[in-house]
């Protein structure tokens, strides 16, 4: 029982390793390309991850996925329930999650 503080203190070791190593890891290419709009750093990150020089196909793929995501429209829950094809799936998920919350499993 007297060693419990040492056990809880052991979490410091992985945290320190992460703090030391994290600055040397490359950023996510997708983040650099879509959020920071920095194509050259994104290409360097892709080259680091994939180990090849020509990464234009991957950059173009990320940009096309971004365009597709921008063109998707969001629907509300009410619109989702009005759609006949998705109504039963939504009701099933809502009932399942409601039962999960009420059964007390989270308390265990």
Interval 20-29: pLDDT, tens: 999 988 889 9
* Residue among 47, 51, 45 nearest 33 (CA): 45
Rounded to two decimals, what is the model's pTM? 0.53
pLDDT digits (tens, 9 = 90+) for 28-86: 999 999 999 999 999 999 998 899 999 999 999 999 999 988 888 888 888 888 888 88
User: How far is 38 from 74, CA to CA, in rounded Å?
Assistant: 28
In the chain, which ranges are E strands? none
């Amino acid at each position: 029982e007297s060693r419990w503080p040492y056990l809880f203190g052991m979490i410091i070791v992985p945290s320190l390793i992460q703090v030391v190593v994290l600055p040397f890891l490359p950023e996510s290419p997708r983040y650099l390309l879509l959020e920071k709009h920095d194509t050259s750093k994104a290409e360097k990150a892709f080259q680091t991850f994939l180990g090849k020089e020509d990464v234009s196909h991957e950059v173009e793929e990320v940009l096309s996925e971004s365009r597709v995501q921008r063109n998707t429209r969001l629907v509300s829950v009410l619109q989702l329930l009005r759609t006949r094809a998705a109504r039963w799936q939504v009701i099933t998920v809502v009932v399942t999650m409601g039962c999960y919350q009420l059964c007390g499993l989270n308390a265990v």
